[in-house]
Amino acid sequence: ITEDIGMIYMLYSAYQTIRGPPTLRQTTVFYCASLWGLRLVSFVGYRVLVRGRDFRFDKLIKAPAYNLFGWTSGGSWCWINGFCLWALASNVDDRSGPLTWLDFIGLAIFVFGLFIETLADLQKYSFNVNTKSGQNTTWIASGLWGSWSRHPNYVGEIVVWVGLAIVCMGGADSSWLGGYGASEVFAKNALRLATVLITPVWSMFFLVFTSMMLLEKRGDAKWSDSKSWNQYKKNTPVLFPDRLPTMLEMRLS
């Protein structure tokens, strides 16, 4: 919860550093990121304060080395995950006026990602509501968690940051996406492009090599002898699905 509140404050602080009146693009991106932050802190608050615990934090509380890792990785995640936002806030050339087609594509991707991860969380809440944290004797294999993805909430999270990064690429001036040849555009803006792309790459890397790996390892430890579990793993992609979800999978039940 502290980490997520810190991230929301970083968003507010970065927005205040924008020189001159914020552009429509800057305001839109930071409002979208703040909406994402409020959703996240609400989710984590529910998990800790209502559900009571999260096994991933048990070692962080008891062992000093894990505790240090938790704080440092949390701070690093907040900073690196926001690179596209910090780049947009510091872009004094972003005076392009109306949003472009690229911005609307990015915003549509952001909305889709936020919808997917929120729906996945709600489906998991519905699955866990009558069971104390850590005491489930089975796994969720319904809705988006069925044959679509074993971690649909992480799919949504990654898609959210891909969308916002696309919006952060837009604007600037004619030298950013038009007015020059392709080679000149990328030569002139290679550093900015690389900075913006750090966000979605880092988001996926961090999720895959922290929470997702821990959850997969825990699932194998609990149910590796179960034919149903092994069949579920065989039939359901670990992360990215190979198709869009159906209306049946998008129900809360």
Please determine, for residue 122, whether its predicted confidence score (pLDDT) is greater than 60: yes
φ/ψ (deg, to 5) at 6: -60, -40
Question: At 13, which amino acid appears?
Answer: S
CA 19 vs CA 87, 91, 168, 248: distances in Å: 13, 9, 16, 48
Max Cα distance, the chain (Å): 61
pLDDT per residue as tens digits for the range 58-111: 777 788 888 888 888 888 888 999 999 999 998 766 655 678 888 999 999 999
Give residues with Cβ within 8 angstroms of 182, minimum separation 6. none
pLDDT per residue as tens digits for the range 10-48: 999 999 999 888 889 999 999 999 999 999 999 888 877
Percentage of the chain modeled with pLDDT above 90: 48
**Residue 108: its H or E element:** helix 101-128
Higher per-residue pLDDT: 209 or 55: 209
Average pLDDT, the chain: 85
pLDDT given for residue 175 in this prediction: 42
The answer to whether 171 and 23 have CB atoms below 8 angstroms apart is: yes
Higher per-residue pLDDT: 151 or 242: 151
pLDDT given for residue 183 in this prediction: 60
pLDDT per residue as tens digits for the range 175-202: 444 444 556 555 667 777 888 999 999 9
CA distance 151 to 24: 34
CA distance 12 to 24: 16
CA distance 135 to 151: 19
CA distance 113 to 111: 5
CA distance 100 to 171: 8
The answer to whether 152 and 145 have CB atoms below 8 angstroms apart is: yes
For residues 174, 184, 198, 9, the Cα torsion angle rounded to the nearest 10 degrees is -30
